[in-house]
Amino acid sequence: MDVAKDIRFSGLRNSFNTNNLISKTKGDKVIWALVVLLTLVSLLAVYSATGSLAYKNYKGNTEIYLFKQIAFILVGIMVIYFAHLVNYTFYSRVAKIAFGISLVLLFYTLFFGVKMNEGSRWIRLPLINMTMQTSDFAKLALFMYLARLLSKKQDVIKDFKKDLFRLSHQ
């Protein structure tokens, strides 16, 4: 009982103040709430889906995949936090370069991709010996490029369907 009295959580509460964190977070609070909600859903999905795999590979230790998912979530939230601190004009400048790189990577994957699961949709990263799908990078680059294109031409666009087709041929 004496040990329980010696444990003080007040220092932890002062070092992790949620009001301080919320005040430093810029942006739409609804988007941040959706990120947290989707994070919790992903934890539930991974934990419930990997039970039999954990019994097969780790002798019933189902928490391995859970902790691995938590590590990925923490890294992802840090990336999101630091990415939202960057000025949006930087992403506009990077969009053309990223779109060009994604096209090159897609063609590289088409001819030299790693065969996995009956398809060559992956490339192997040489230094870390991991694989990645170039289509994921291409999706991000395409979103960035389209956002850049639409923001540059927003004063010209009157009818979205007609003008988007016209913009794509300029």
Residue 125 pairs with which residues in a beta bridge?
130
pLDDT in the model for residue 143: 93
Of 144, 145, 168, the residue nearest 156 (C-alpha): 168
pLDDT in the model for residue 17: 62
Q: How far apart are CA 135 and CA 98, in angstroms?
A: 12
Strands (DSSP E) along the chain, which ranges?
A: 114-116, 119-125, 130-133
pLDDT digits (tens), the chain, 170 positions: 444 444 444 444 455 566 666 666 667 788 888 988 999 998 888 888 887 777 788 777 778 888 888 898 999 988 988 888 888 889 899 999 999 999 999 998 888 887 777 777 888 888 888 888 899 999 999 999 988 988 887 777 777 777 666 666 65
With H, G, I as helix, E, B as strand and everything else as coil, classify residue 153.
Answer: coil
Q: How far apart are CA 152 and CA 167, in angstroms?
A: 11
Q: How far apart are CA 113 and CA 64, in angstroms?
A: 30
Domain ranges for the chain: 9-85, 96-170
> What are 102's two structure tokens?
């994604």
> What are 167's two structure tokens?
């913009």
Contact criterion met (CB below 8 Å) for 27 and 15: no
Q: How far apart are CA 44 and CA 124, in angstroms?
A: 30
Q: How far apart are CA 107 and CA 113, in angstroms?
A: 9
DSSP assignment letter at 159: S
